Each structure stands twice: as structure tokens, then as C-alpha cells.
């Protein structure tokens, strides 16, 4: 984004432009296949043709995309949570403790039943949000509800599933472990879940400062 007399504008900065440099790759907790690095800008000259969305319309363009961005996070959260449950169901069927499968214990069965129910409820809400976005009726507050609720649920599911995996759930070679690490950022990017609650409360007429 670039701020000027007419407001904020969006500019496409491309690799190789003089004054634009990338820093070293940052080491993250999860999402290790997705490179992240610092970006440095020093008097970068961007061609007028690299203006996105019109001059002075950068903030509007970003705000218009927020509901869809947050819905994408919710969709990914539900999909990842379901994958975690599926992995855990298969693992607990095979893993033996005290002479029987982990899945044979009532605690395991009930815990997985609870998680599956919660993920199914979240999926219904996300499906409804997808219907709304397809007809351009998904508002920011509803998208914020989906983002915060589903990402919170994703982290809960991952934690419970890691517990059912036992010690193996702490080993990087298992997908549940990598999914556990990847999940944590879901509650941060796209707007932290605390910000999501602020957006929702303001839409309810509960204004803050």
C-alpha cells in the first residue's frame, strides 16, 4: 500500500525492481513449506501500470476482500480439523494399550465423538457462509464469526488428537504433529481472534472506544 493525497493505493512491487530487497527466510513454528521473509523498500519506483484497483482505492479494495479472506481461513480450519480426526480414528484403531486398541476405551470413543460433532456443526456454518459469499451477501461480522470460531476449534481438535496419539503425537514425522504446529497461526493471521470478537461486538451495536 502507498498513501498519498488521494488516500491509500495498492501497488504491485515485482522482484528485480531497484530498491526492493528480500531479507533472509524467517523460521516459523509451522507452515514450513510456505516461505516468509522481511521485505525492504528503498525509494522503489513502481510503474503506473502496476496500480491495483484504482488510485486512492487501496483501503476499500482490502476491506472488500476481508470477508472472503476470513472465510478461507475458516474453510481451511474445518478441513484440517476433519483430517486430524480421520488420522486419529485410524491410529487409535491400530494402537494397542493394555492389550486392546486405544479406540476400545470409552474415553477415546467419546472424545472423538465430541470432536466430530463440533466439526460437523462448524462445517454447516461454513457451508452457509459459502452460500452467502456466492451471492455477495457475506458481511464482515459473519465472516469474523466463522474465522474465530473455526480456528479456535481447529486448535482444540489438534490438541485433543495429539493427546490421543500419545508420545507419537509429539514426533515431527507424524502428520498430526505438523498439523498441530501449522494450526496455531490460524488464530493470529487474517486478524487475531480478539479483533474478530471486536468486529462482531461492534456489529451488535456494542461500540468500544
Catalogue the active-site residues. 69
CA distance 166 to 174: 12
Residue written as grid cell 516459523: 28
Write out the three cell numbers for 25. 527466510
User: 136 CB contacts (<8 Å, ≥6 apart)?
Assistant: none
CA distance 60 to 10: 10
CA distance 101 to 112: 14
Amino acid at each position: 500500500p502507498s498513501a498519498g493525497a488521494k488516500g491509500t493505493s495498492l501497488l504491485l512491487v515485482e522482484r528485480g525492481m531497484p530498491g526492493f530487497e528480500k531479507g533472509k527466510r524467517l523460521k516459523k513454528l509451522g507452515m514450513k513449506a510456505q516461505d516468509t521473509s522481511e521485505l525492504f523498500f528503498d525509494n522503489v519506483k513502481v510503474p503506473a501500470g502496476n496500480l491495483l484497483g484504482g488510485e486512492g482505492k487501496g483501503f476499500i479494495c482490502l476491506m472488500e476482500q476481508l470477508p472472503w479472506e476470513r472465510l478461507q481461513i475458516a474453510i481451511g480450519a474445518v478441513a484440517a480439523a476433519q483430517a486430524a480426526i480421520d488420522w486419529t480414528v485410524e491410529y487409535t484403531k491400530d494402537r494397542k494399550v493394555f492389550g486392546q486398541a486405544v479406540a476400545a476405551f470409552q474415553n477415546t470413543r467419546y472424545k472423538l465423538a465430541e470432536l466430530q460433532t463440533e466439526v460437523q456443526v462448524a462445517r454447516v456454518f461454513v457451508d452457509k457462509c459459502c452460500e452467502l459469499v456466492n451471492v455477495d451477501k457475506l458481511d464482515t461480522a459473519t465472516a469474523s464469526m466463522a474465522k474465530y470460531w473455526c480456528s479456535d476449534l481447529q486448535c482444540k481438535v489438534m490438541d485433543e488428537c495429539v493427546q490421543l496419539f500419545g508420545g507419537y503425537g509429539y514426533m515431527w514425522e507424524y502428520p498430526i504433529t505438523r498439523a498441530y504446529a501449522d494450526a496455531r497461526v490460524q488464530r493470529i493471521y487474517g486478524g487475531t481472534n480478539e479483533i474478530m470478537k471486536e468486529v462482531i461486538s461492534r456489529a451488535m451495536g456494542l461500540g468500544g472506544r
